[in-house]
Structure formats: C-alpha cells, structure tokens
Amino acid sequence: MSAAADVDLRVFADYDRDVREEADVVVVGSGPCGAVVAKELTDAGLRVLLLEEGPPFTPADFELDGPLSMARTLREGGLRTTLGTVMPTMQAICLGGGSLVNSAICVRAPEFVLDRWCADFDLAQTRRADLDPHYDAVGEFLGISPTPENVLGPRNLLFKKGCDALGISSEPISRNVRGCRGSGECFTGCRSRAKQSMDISYLPAALHGGAKVLSSVRVEEVLVEGRRAVGVVGRVVAPFTGRPGFAVQVRARRVVLAAGCMATPVLLQKSGDLANGSGQVGANLQFHPGVAMLGVFPDPVHPQFGATQGYQSLHYLREGFKLETLWAPPAVLAVRMPGSGFALKQRLARVPRSAVWDAIASCNRSLGSVRARSRGLDPKLTWSLHEDDVPILAKALHTLARIFFAAGAQTVLPGVHGIPEELCSLAEAEVLRTRKFRASEFLTGGNHAFCSTRMHGDASRGVVDEFGRCHDLEGLYIADTGIFPQCPSVNPMWTGMALAHRLAGRIAAGG
C-alpha cells in the first residue's frame, strides 16, 4: 500500500460527484484552532471530518514573490481592508490556514489580560493557570521554543542591542519551528519545512489517527434541527477562482466552527442569523493595529537573513503595545518607503542597511463589525481606530525610534503622514511624542482579529461560553480567535490553540 493510501485527504481534482458524509464531529477550517480540535478528537476515538476551503500547498506551489504569494494564499488576494479606518488585514485560504504564512510567533496571553477577561466577561476558568496545561500540550507537540541565536541575524540582534542599551526587557521570540535556517521566508511558505505549520504537524497527525480532511470545500450553511446543529452544507470550489462545483453535505453530532474571526460570523449570519440571541455575532471586532518603522544603519544589516520575527519586547504590554522585529518579502517592505522617483530609488538602495521593527497595539476602545455581504461569503469589515487609542501607536513608534537610535541607526522612517519622512535624531523623533495625531495619519495593518463571536459567561452578552460552546444551540462550538472577549495584547495563535485544545477535551468528555 502506498503512503498516500494510508490517509483520507481529498483535493479538488479528486472530486467526481456530490459528497455526502457522516461523522461524529465536523470541523470547519484547518487553521491552528481547527487543526488542534481535529487531532485531539481523533486521538479521543471520534470520527472527525475536517473541511477546508483552500487547497494544500506543496513547497513547489510556494510563490517566492511576496505579493503574488499573498494573492494565492490569502483571501481576497491579500488586499482585504476594513472600512471606516482603512486598514489592510489578512486571512489565509489554504490547508493549515494562517500557520502556513505567518511567522510562527507563539506567546502565552499575559496573566493580567486573562484576569481582566475573567473579571469583565463573567468567566470563571480562563485564568492563566487554567490555560497553562493546554499551552504546554500544544507547545510540546509543536516544539515551541525560543529562536536559536545562530539564526537571529543582525536584524534581530540590533533590536536586542537597542533594548539593552535603554534597559528595556527583550527576548528571543518562541516559535513553532524545528530546525530554522534563517531564510526569512515565513510569510511565503517555509521552504526548509522547519516551521511547524498545521499542514505538516497537527493535520498529518489527525489524518494518521483516522480523520478525513476534505480540502477545496466551502461551507455555506450550518444545518440545524430544532435547537441542535446537525451538520453543514457547502460546495467543492476550485482553488484560486472559487468556482463552485459538486455539492457537499456532512451530517454530524457536533459542529465545530474554526473558520476564523472574519468568516465564522458570516457563516452564522448566512445560516439564518444562527446563534445570535445575544446580538453579538459579528459585533465587537477588534484588531491589534500594527505600525512599523524602518531604521537605516551605517553598515550592512543583511536583513534577508535571520528568523522572520526573532526578537520581541513585552516591556510595554500594560501600556498597550508589544514590540517585535520584522522581515517580509522585500517587495512588501519596499511599499513602505516614502517618496517617488530618484528619491525613492535612493531610499530603496538603503534596504540592505535597514531593519524593520513593528509594534502591535492593544486598542480595546477601537471596535468594529463583521457583516455578511448580500452575495458571497467575503465579509464586510467595518472598524475605526478610536481617538483615545491613537496615542498608543504614537508612543509605540517613539519607543521604536529610541531603540533604533540606541542600536546605532542613522535615520528612521516612521511612515506617518504630517511629519518628516525621515527622522535623523532622537530630538527629531520627539515629534512622535509631542504631536497630536489623527488616526488617518498612521499607516496601520491589522493582522490579528478577535472578538466577533465573543465568549461571555452571560448568554445575553456573548455568543459562546468560555469553553467555546454556543449559548443558543446544542452541538455547535466555535474554536477560533473570534471567541476572545478582548484582544490578548500578544500574538494570538498559541492562545487560540490552547483554547481549542481545552474545547476538544470537553467535547471528548461528552461536554
């Protein structure tokens, strides 16, 4: 028997008729949360069927050019933006979800954040001590560990140098990576197969355990009988074009939605405004709006070498921001360079001497919504950066400027309208601290999204309970970052997976 016959994975070219399946549990979405649920429930002996709209990518399918890679692996070609405060945001469409194209950052939610969640959202068992066993289980499976020093490269080490000089605490980022070679290609797919994305970690384990994985299936509706979810229906769709084909129906005793914070609410709304007794489905959308700064150093930084995001500072978490190093495909970074013509070329020529560092902000006052469009399943995202959250971004950028200059940078490019495009000294960077900015003056990106199906102990104020069980319907669960009641202040993947791990345990135990 060939290795391929050992597992039940279906890809687009394999479908030749309508699909009808039955399972104990159907999981919608193969990202980090859905993959954990699928594997854990398979291990528990349940018949699990996982549906994913995107195709599996092999390394031969990876596109080295950043924008073209984004067009292939991200929904809406990677050009999704919010309305209100216009901000690009992303959601993957591929087997393994965002884990295929993220930088593998794993950070446990801070204790003070989880304490606040419990206090403000009537949660009893979501403190750090409650989640630590689940963080540990996921961490052990994926080999989550700090980025080794030999693949940090100058770009990450300069950040450490700047932080050390200022007495700002910093640390190598823990990642779900084994054998990183420092290619800096996390965002376009790891050709070294070092990043433990779901397609090469949790999903193979689930498949070996007996799970069925159907890729290229778009779920369009959750089936309900009485007050119980009993399955899903959808269509086989062609990779990239989304052209619909054969019908798919899966009946299951339990339905776990892990389609992501921006897709799960749309699916519920398209299913007849399901599970929305609280009125919270699609509401409360939050992001970690991010700002980035580029610093130019006198000597080559060789920014293409090193872990994509290898160093971070959690020093300012309580003040509302986290600092990180960053590398992305050169084309994507070059987009941030100001100017045009020869001045632009002059700046682009300095990229080899440049490092990019970013900040993600906790903006709990900045809220938005996810709404289904009249046609299709792409969400309409509305979100506005609250005036009172703007100073957080300004302070984060000012802090990055301080770190850059402490590390020896000659100049920094803040990417903020209304101030000089380049700041050549700490004195010039003071403008970031003293000026009153408007939201539209920042170039922000929102890569982590939360809260669109939030958990709440009170069924009238949340969509699910703290274990991910829907308040309104039996047999319906949500396992993605939409259930976070507020932003976690740090990268959300590990927390989402820990919550998914806990949910799987509950389902396996009959809960």
Partner 1 sequence: MWFWLLGAFALGYAIARVTFGYPRPARRFDSLLRSEVAFLAGAGEATFPAGGDIPASGLDADLPAYTDRLLTAAHPRMRLLMHLLFFLVEHATIVFPAPGRRGWRRFSALDAEQRAAVLEGWRTSRLFPRRLVFASLRAILTMGYFAFPPVLRQLGLAPYEIPTPVCEADLWTPRIGASRSSVRRSRADLTPPSDGTPIPLEAPLHPAYRKGAR
Closest CA to 236 of 392, 425, 414, 15: 15
212 lines the binding site for partner 1 (CB under 8 A): no
**CA-derived radius of gyration, the chain:** 22
- The site for partner 1, by CB under 8 A, has a size of 78
Please pick, from the candidates 29, 32, 34, 66, the single residue that binds partner 1 as defined by CB under 8 A.
Answer: 66
**Rounded Cα distance, 482 and 449, in Å:** 7
235 lines the binding site for partner 1 (CB under 8 A): no
**Rounded Cα distance, 66 and 186, in Å:** 11
227 lines the binding site for partner 1 (CB under 8 A): no
CB of 257 to partner 1, least distance (A): 23
8 A C-beta contact, residue 477 and residue 115: no
Which of positions 30-59 make contact with partner 1 (CB under 8 A)?
55-59
86 lines the binding site for partner 1 (CB under 8 A): yes
**Rounded Cα distance, 239 and 243, in Å:** 8
Q: Which residue has the tokens 């495009």?
A: 421
83 lines the binding site for partner 1 (CB under 8 A): no
Which of positions 447-506 make contact with partner 1 (CB under 8 A)?
none
Please pick, from the candidates 47, 191, 371, 506, the single residue that binds partner 1 as defined by CB under 8 A.
Answer: 191
Q: Is 197 exposed, middle or buried (CB count within 10 Å of its CB: 0-12, 13-18, 19+)?
A: buried
246 lines the binding site for partner 1 (CB under 8 A): no
Please pick, from the candidates 165, 166, 334, 424, the single residue that binds partner 1 as defined by CB under 8 A.
Answer: 334
155 lines the binding site for partner 1 (CB under 8 A): no
| Between 161 and 350, CB nearer to partner 1 | 350
146 lines the binding site for partner 1 (CB under 8 A): no
Please pick, from the candidates 2, 129, 299, 509, the single residue that binds partner 1 as defined by CB under 8 A.
Answer: 2
How many residues are listed for the chain in this entry?
Answer: 511
User: Strand 174-175 relative to strand 212-214: parallel, antiparallel, unpaired?
Assistant: unpaired
| Between 124 and 335, CB nearer to partner 1 | 335
323 beta partners: 313, 359
The one-letter amino acid at 96: G
The enclosing H or E element of 396 equals helix 390-407
Neighbours of 119 (CB within 10 A): 9
| Between 17 and 119, CB nearer to partner 1 | 17
Please pick, from the candidates 68, 137, 166, 424, the single residue that binds partner 1 as defined by CB under 8 A.
Answer: 68
What does each C-alpha distance from 141 to 138, 186, 198, 205, 213 come to in angstroms?
5, 20, 11, 10, 20
Please pick, from the candidates 133, 146, 179, 272, the single residue that binds partner 1 as defined by CB under 8 A.
Answer: 179
Which of positions 429-448 make contact with partner 1 (CB under 8 A)?
440, 443
352 lines the binding site for partner 1 (CB under 8 A): yes
CB of 250 to partner 1, least distance (A): 20
Angle ∠(261,271,471) on CA atoms, nearest 5: 65
**Rounded Cα distance, 90 and 70, in Å:** 9
What is the 3 state secondary structure string of 223-272? EEECCEEEEEEEEEECCCCCCEEEEEEEEEEEEEECCCCCCHHHHHHHCC
382 lines the binding site for partner 1 (CB under 8 A): no
Residues 6+ apart with CB under 8 A from 436: none
CB of 24 to partner 1, least distance (A): 23
Q: Candidates 309-317, 331-339, 477-485, 503-511 — which segment interacts with partner 1 by CB under 8 A? A: 331-339
| Between 202 and 405, CB nearer to partner 1 | 202
CB of 93 to partner 1, least distance (A): 10
**Rounded Cα distance, 431 and 423, in Å:** 9
User: Strand 48-51 relative to strand 19-28: parallel, antiparallel, unpaired?
Assistant: parallel
CB of 417 to partner 1, least distance (A): 7
8 A C-beta contact, residue 401 and residue 293: yes
124 lines the binding site for partner 1 (CB under 8 A): no
341 lines the binding site for partner 1 (CB under 8 A): yes
| Between 142 and 499, CB nearer to partner 1 | 142
| Between 112 and 240, CB nearer to partner 1 | 240
422 lines the binding site for partner 1 (CB under 8 A): no
| Between 245 and 339, CB nearer to partner 1 | 339
| Between 57 and 121, CB nearer to partner 1 | 57
Neighbours of 159 (CB within 10 A): 28
Which of positions 252-311 make contact with partner 1 (CB under 8 A)?
300, 302-305
| Between 158 and 194, CB nearer to partner 1 | 194
Beta strands in 38-109 (DSSP E): 48-51, 83-84
Beta strands in 41-169 (DSSP E): 48-51, 83-84, 145-146
CB of 341 to partner 1, least distance (A): 6
387 lines the binding site for partner 1 (CB under 8 A): no
367 lines the binding site for partner 1 (CB under 8 A): no
Please pick, from the candidates 166, 247, 317, 332, the single residue that binds partner 1 as defined by CB under 8 A.
Answer: 332
| Between 149 and 225, CB nearer to partner 1 | 149
Closest CA to 113 of 124, 127, 99, 94: 127
Please pick, from the candidates 239, 289, 295, 310, the single residue that binds partner 1 as defined by CB under 8 A.
Answer: 239
